[in-house]
Structure 1
Amino acid sequence: MIRLTRLSGSEFALNSDLIERVDATPDTVVTLVDGKKYVVTESLDAIIELVRRHRGEVLALSSYLDVEPWPPRGPSKLGSVSELARPES
């Protein structure tokens, strides 16, 4: 999420993945993929920098997560159908 400021001065957080485009006409207008528009005080360049910084933080923080890789590595825990169909001796 990035923090933006409406012309009224109130701040809000916006999911930057939903931004379709940003226009500077002369006010900065952020258009989302669903067509909703926000007029903000930040400049076009400032919004681009905020999005870049946010995405960089997401990538940097992902290296600290302790999660198992996908697909899992190592021997499979699943058997084949032919193994299940064989009678045991």
Structure 2
Amino acid sequence: MIVVTRLNDSQFAINPDLIERIHASPDTTLVMVDGAKFIVTEGLDEVIEKIARFRAHVISLAYLTSDEDYSSGARPLEIVSGPHAIEDPTGPGTVQPQRPRRL
């Protein structure tokens, strides 16, 4: 989530993955995938920078998290090769490509 500011100076968090487009004429308007619009005080460049920092943070968490953090049974984040790869249940850490569904 990124934190942005409304014109009345109240702040709110928004999921940047749900932003469809951003307009900056004259106020910065976030247009969401569901059609909702939010006018914010941050400029276009600042919103884009916040989104980039958010995504970089998520990726860094995937790389920096140690396996010890998952001793409670939670699965660690991992980068999977190939566009349709899933973890192979026959062995830990092995990757097996998925087959496309037949309709």
Q: TM-score range by the shorter chain?
A: 0.7 to 0.9
Confirm whether residue 74 of structure 1 aligns to residue 87 of structure 2: no
Which has the greater radius of gyration? 1
How many Å separate the matches in 1 of 2:37 and 2:48?
A: 16
1:65 CA drift (Å):
5.5
3-state SS of 2:91 partner: coil
3-state SS of 2:87 partner: coil
For 1:79, the equivalent position in structure 2 comes to none
Gaps of 5+ in 2: 68-75, 79-85, 93-103
3-state SS of 1:56 partner: helix
For 1:11, the equivalent position in structure 2 comes to 11
3-state SS of 1:31 partner: strand
1:44 CA drift (Å):
0.2
For 1:82, the equivalent position in structure 2 comes to none
How many Å separate the matches in 1 of 2:50 and 2:77?
A: 30
Gaps of 5+ in 1: 76-89
Q: Which has the higher contact order (CA 8 A, sep 6+)?
A: 1
1:61-80 Cα offsets, whole Å, 9 max, x none, are 012153286414638xxxxx
For 1:33, the equivalent position in structure 2 comes to 33
**Residues 29 and 48 of structure 1: is their aligned pair in 2 closer, same or farther, counting only changes over 3 Å?**
same
Query: Where has structure 1 moved over 2 Å in runs of 4 or more?
Result: 65-70, 72-75
RMSD: 2.0
Aligned length: 75
TM-score (normalised: structure 1): 0.76
Identity of aligned residues (%): 48
3-state SS of 2:7 partner: coil
